[in-house]
Amino acid sequence: MRISVLTLFPEMFDALKHSIIGRALEENKFILDIHNIRDYSKDKHLKCDDYAFGGGCGMVMTPQPIFDCINAIDPERRARRVYLSPKGRRLGQDLVTAYAGLGHLILLCGHYEGVDQRVIDLEIDEELSIGDYVLTGGELAAMVVIDGIARYLPGVLGSEQSTDEESFSNGLLEYPQYTRPQTFNGLSVPEVLTSGHHGNVKKWRLEQSVTITKKMRKDLYRKFTARNGKESGKEK
């Protein structure tokens, strides 16, 4: 898979050079190309923003550099072109896995008051939000999307890490995890986890998942019981 990012702040994406995503990029598990929108500006001072028509404070990103940049990257318009914006469709696990199946994804990051509407109307397939709050720009949102997608690409997670039993994979939040020492500051690991009885461990984990989901996310819990019936996990 190829992910292309259009941004005025390419250095921000250095954050992805570390840990699991950094290793995946080094090993070419996916391609990430970061494009500086300013490189495409035809303004003599390489300006990429201007005052908003109609007034108001804040600057708007001008269409020409974005238009030229996006069409240089995707001249045949084969990629899915996404603009990060608080006005967009809300990101969830379903969308993350759908994006992970694409050949080429383009992420356009806005800054200041956003981009000229004609860029969205002419060049963008969908607007995407990572939550109901406003960030100073789309860069952090784009990194959230890239990290979320990369975990679903072949070979990115090692065999010891898996997306199989994590939160949202079965519509439930994940059960609690414990490691050594067996007792820490007076709190012991639940006995069932050290019993060696795989069936009981599995049952306990499902019960925990159901209980935690019911407590933390009533919306997910309702969907889960509608799909599976109340008997599928013991309630507390």
157 in Cβ contact with 148 (< 8 Å): no
Q: Which of 138/233 has CB closer to ligand ADE?
A: 138
Q: Which of 86, 148, 171, 233 binds ligand ADE (CB under 6 A)?
A: 86
Q: Which of 92, 101, 131, 176 binds ligand ADE (CB under 6 A)?
A: 131
The CB-of-114 to ligand ADE minimum distance in angstroms stands at 8
Applying CB under 6 A, the span of 37-45, 132-140, 210-218, 223-231 interacting with ligand ADE comes to: 132-140
- Residues near ligand ADE (CB under 6 A), total: 11
Place of tokens 């694409």: 102
Q: Which of 138/148 has CB closer to ligand ADE?
A: 138
Q: Can you tell me whether residue 59 is helix, strand or coil?
A: strand
What's the sign of the alpha-carbon dihedral 182, 167, 22, 157? positive
Query: 10, 17, 21: which is closest to 145 by C-alpha?
Result: 21
84 part of the interface to ligand ADE, by CB under 6 A: yes
Q: Which of 134/187 has CB closer to ligand ADE?
A: 134
Q: How many CB atoms lie within 10 A of CB 163?
A: 15
130 part of the interface to ligand ADE, by CB under 6 A: yes
Q: Which of 57/187 has CB closer to ligand ADE?
A: 57
CA dihedral 202, 207, 210, 212 (to 10 degrees): -100
**18 contact partners, CB below 8 Å, separation of at least 6:** none
134 part of the interface to ligand ADE, by CB under 6 A: yes
Which token pair is 14?
């250095």
227 alpha-carbon distance from chain centroid? 26
The CB-of-7 to ligand ADE minimum distance in angstroms stands at 12
* Residues between 140 and 199 with contacts to ligand ADE, criterion CB under 6 A: 141
The CB-of-148 to ligand ADE minimum distance in angstroms stands at 13
Applying CB under 6 A, the span of 15-23, 32-40, 84-92, 178-186 interacting with ligand ADE comes to: 84-92
Query: 161, 158, 233, 171: which is closest to 202 by C-alpha?
Result: 233
Helices 93-100 & 139-150, crossing angle to 10 degrees? Answer: 70
Q: Which of 62/129 has CB closer to ligand ADE?
A: 129
Which token pair is 40?
């495409």
The CB-of-12 to ligand ADE minimum distance in angstroms stands at 13
Which parts of this chain interact with ligand ADE (CB under 6 A)?
A: 84-86, 129-131, 133-135, 138, 141
